[in-house]
C-alpha cells in the first residue's frame, strides 16, 4: 500500500547523448528537455505568484496550473507534492540571490560608499518587488516549514550577516565607524531595510515610506555626519 515515486529530477535530460553522439540536428530551443525546463520555470513562476499572494495553505494547485498554462497533472511531473513544490520553489528562487552575494566586488573606496551602494541596490531590487514578497513569505511560512527557514538562514542570512560584519569591522578599522559594538550586531545595519520591505507590503497605502532616504539617515547614524553629496 506504499509507493515512492520521487520524481522532480530533470526528466529527459541526457537521453540524446545515450546514442553516443552529440545531437547535431537538435534545434537548440525546441527539443523535449528544453520545453520541459520551460514548463518547469513557468510552474515555478506561477507558484511564486500564488504562494506570495495567498500563502501556502490557501494556494490552490488549480490556480498555479492555470497561471502556468499547464494541466494540473503536469505539476506532479516536476514536484512530488504541494509541500515539496513550496520548498524547492523557495530554494530555486533564492539561488540567484546567493550567487549575487558571492559575486560582490572586493571593497574599494570608503566603507560607507560600499554599504550605501549595496543597500541601495538591495532596496531597489527588493522593495516592492517579488523578491521582497519572498522575504515576507519566508517570515510567514517559516515556522511551518523549518527546512525552508533553515535553508534561508544557511544560504542567505548567515552569509549576509558575515559579510556585514566584515564590512563593519573594516569601517571600524578605518575609523569610519566609531561604535565598535556594532560588529557584534550586524542585524542593526540591515534592520531598517527589512522593516522597509515589510512596511511596503503592509502599510504602504497608508503611509508610503522612502526607503532610500531612510537608509541614508540610518547610515548617518552609523557613519557620523552626512557627507555633502
Partner DNA sequence: TATGAATGAGGTTTCATTCAT
Partner DNA sequence: TATGAATGAAACCTCATTCAT
- Cβ contacts of 126 within 8 Å, gap of 6 or more: 132, 135, 193, 197
Kindly write out the interface string for residues 203-222 of this chain, putting x where it contacts a second copy by CB under 8 A and - elsewhere. x--xx-x---xx--xx-xxx
Q: What angle do CA 226, 192, 180 make, to 5 degrees?
A: 60
Q: Quick check: 106 binds a second copy (CB under 8 A)? A: no
Of 45, 47, 32, 36, the residue nearest 74 (C-alpha)? 36
Which 49-68 positions form the footprint of a second copy (CB under 8 A)? 53-58
Q: How far is CA 221 from the centre of its chain?
A: 28
Cell numbers that stand for 172 in this block: 571600524
Q: Cell 560608499: give the residue.
A: 113
Per-position x/- string for 76-95, each x denoting binding to a second copy as judged by CB under 8 A, each - no binding: -------x------------
Per-residue binding string, DNA, 42-61, x by CB under 7 A, is ----------------xxxx
Which residue is listed with cell 560582490?
104
- Residue 10 contact among DNA, a second copy, none, beta carbon within 5 to 8 Å by kind: DNA
Stretch of residues binding DNA (CB under 7 A), selected from 7-15, 112-120, 136-144, 180-188: 7-15
Q: How far apart are CA 85 and CA 121, in angstroms?
A: 29
Residues contacting residue 74 through CB under 8 Å, at least 6 positions apart: 39, 43, 65
State the number of binding residues for a second copy (CB under 8 A).
51
In the complex, which residues of this chain contact DNA (CB under 7 A)? 3, 5-7, 10-13, 15, 30-33, 35-36, 39, 58-62, 70-74, 76-77, 81-83
Q: Give the interface with a second copy as residue ranges (CB under 8 A).
A: 1, 53-58, 83, 136, 138-144, 149-150, 152-154, 157-158, 179, 181-182, 184-185, 187-188, 190-192, 194-196, 198-199, 201-203, 206-207, 209, 213-214, 217-218, 220-222
Amino acid at each position: 500500500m506504499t509507493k515512492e515515486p520521487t520524481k522532480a529530477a530533470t526528466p529527459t535530460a541526457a537521453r540524446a547523448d545515450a546514442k553516443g553522439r552529440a545531437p547535431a540536428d537538435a534545434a537548440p530551443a525546441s527539443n523535449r528537455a528544453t520545453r520541459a525546463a520551460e514548463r518547469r520555470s513557468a510552474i515555478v513562476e506561477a507558484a511564486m505568484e500564488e504562494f506570495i499572494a495567498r500563502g501556502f495553505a490557501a494556494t490552490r494547485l488549480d490556480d498555479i496550473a492555470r497561471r502556468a498554462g499547464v494541466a494540473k497533472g503536469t505539476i506532479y511531473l516536476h514536484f512530488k507534492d504541494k509541500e515539496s513544490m513550496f520548498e524547492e520553489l523557495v530554494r530555486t528562487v533564492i539561488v540567484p540571490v546567493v550567487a549575487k552575494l558571492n559575486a560582490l566586488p572586493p571593497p574599494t573606496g570608503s566603507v560607507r560608499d560600499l554599504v550605501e551602494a549595496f543597500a541601495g541596490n538591495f532596496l531597489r531590487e527588493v522593495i516592492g518587488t517579488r523578491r521582497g514578497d519572498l522575504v515576507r513569505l519566508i517570515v510567514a511560512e517559516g515556522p511551518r516549514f523549518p527546512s525552508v527557514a533553515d535553508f534561508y538562514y544557511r544560504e542567505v542570512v548567515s552569509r549576509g550577516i558575515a559579510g556585514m560584519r566584515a564590512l563593519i569591522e573594516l569601517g571600524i578599522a578605518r575609523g569610519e565607524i566609531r561604535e565598535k559594538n556594532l560588529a557584534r550586531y550586524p542585524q542593526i545595519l540591515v534592520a531598517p531595510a527589512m522593516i522597509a520591505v515589510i512596511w511596503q507590503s503592509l502599510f504602504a497605502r497608508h503611509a508610503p515610506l522612502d526607503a532610500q532616504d531612510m537608509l541614508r539617515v540610518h547610515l548617518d547614524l552609523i557613519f557620523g555626519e552626512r557627507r555633502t553629496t
